[in-house]
A = this chain, B = another copy of it.
């Protein structure tokens, strides 16, 4: 069945957007949407593109895909300490299918409405499946959790557990036996892969407490390095302190570390704050209803030749030499 571009936009997106939250002066249907941040605040802007085979499997459930398409973008707002306001969606599809679009829109809007985030514009075209969202949030200039805010002596924290999404992918790919896990664990791993939860509440709770954050989309080892490079510091990380679920703990130690350190798609927050903020951070985690765990410390570059880098050690403080790579979309050798 042929759906025209305009009836498609109207039927699956514009009509529901009009019923949703009003977060723009002018929304869908004009050349541009018109928006403004809350008075005295800045607009945080982020864009992410999702491609079949790179960010989701060809047989992905469309409702999960709708969720994930927006979730990975909201996660960038969370990592900035920004409050979601609005988003645009650009969508390339080979053949628009009503049932597919309906499920995709359901997953997308369920998440958008939960975070009071309005669809204000977009584009649809025919082409290989591609989803590109640009998201907007409000943040006071001084409260933004920037990557360049890590300082000597800061603790390094992470939210939730790491490695679950990668472990779920491993099950789907047959890298390890599904029989390792009970059905509840299998559901949890799959859910972490398909329906990541953006840590918006935690990002907001950390305003004024943490100075620096990012979201772990490409693996802790690679992503933490962005903080170190922007802040010109080093990190000392206790690999055994990195929180992992009971399910991930069932994997062999090597596989655990691969998942926890180099697995993408977790969308937890890694953030830094001075030691005197520990109580406030645990309190912020409690308010946001997500565990927060200290995994290491930040140290200054001591010598002119020092480079931003991560020194890994285990629970016994024995140094570990790890050759792990983050999830690099153009790295032909990436492990996953």
Instruction: Report which A residues bind B (CB closer than 8 A).
Output: 2-6, 8, 25-26, 29-37, 41-55, 76-77, 79-80, 82, 88-92, 96, 120-128, 130, 132, 134, 136-137, 139, 141, 144-148, 213-215, 226, 230, 328-333
B residues within 8 A CB of A55?
125
Question: Given A48-B90, A48-B123, A55-B125, are A330 and B31 neighbors across the interface (CB < 8 Å)?
Answer: no
The distance in angstroms between the C-alpha atoms of A32 and B330, with both chains bound, is: 21
Residue of B nearest to A135 (CB): B32
Contact across chains for B330 and A76 when beta carbons are under 8 A apart? no
Please, could you name 25 A-B residue pairs with CB atoms under 8 Å apart, sorted by A? A2-B330, A2-B332, A8-B330, A25-B42, A26-B144, A31-B80, A31-B145, A31-B213, A32-B44, A32-B82, A32-B137, A34-B141, A47-B90, A47-B121, A47-B134, A48-B90, A48-B123, A49-B91, A51-B127, A51-B130, A54-B126, A55-B125, A125-B329, A127-B128, A128-B130
Tell me which residues across on chain B come within 8 A of A52, comparing CB atoms: 127
Do A88 and B25 form a contact, CB below 8 Å, given A36-B37, A52-B127? no
CA distance A260 to B4 in the complex (A): 22
Check if A147 sits within 8 Å of B330, measured CB to CB.
no
A331 touches which of B2, B127, B146 (Cβ 8 Å): B2
Most chain B CB within 10 A, of A6, A49, A54, is at A49
Q: How far is the CA of A89 from the CA of B46 in the complex (A)?
A: 10
**Which residues in B have their C-beta under 8 angstroms from that of A127?**
49, 51-54, 128, 130
* Contact A47 B230, beta carbon cutoff 8 Å: no
User: In the complex, what residues of B have CB within 8 A of residue A79's CB?
Assistant: 31-32
Q: Provided the pairs A6-B328, A29-B230, A331-B4 are in contact, do residues A45 and B53 lie with their beta carbons within 8 angstroms?
A: no
Residues on the B chain within 8 Å of A128, using CB: 51, 127-128, 130
The answer for the CA separation of A49 and B122 in the assembled complex, in Å, is: 9
A147: which of B31, B92, B213 is its contact (CB, 8 Å)?
Answer: B31
> Please, which residues of chain B bring their CB within 8 A of the CB of A139?
34
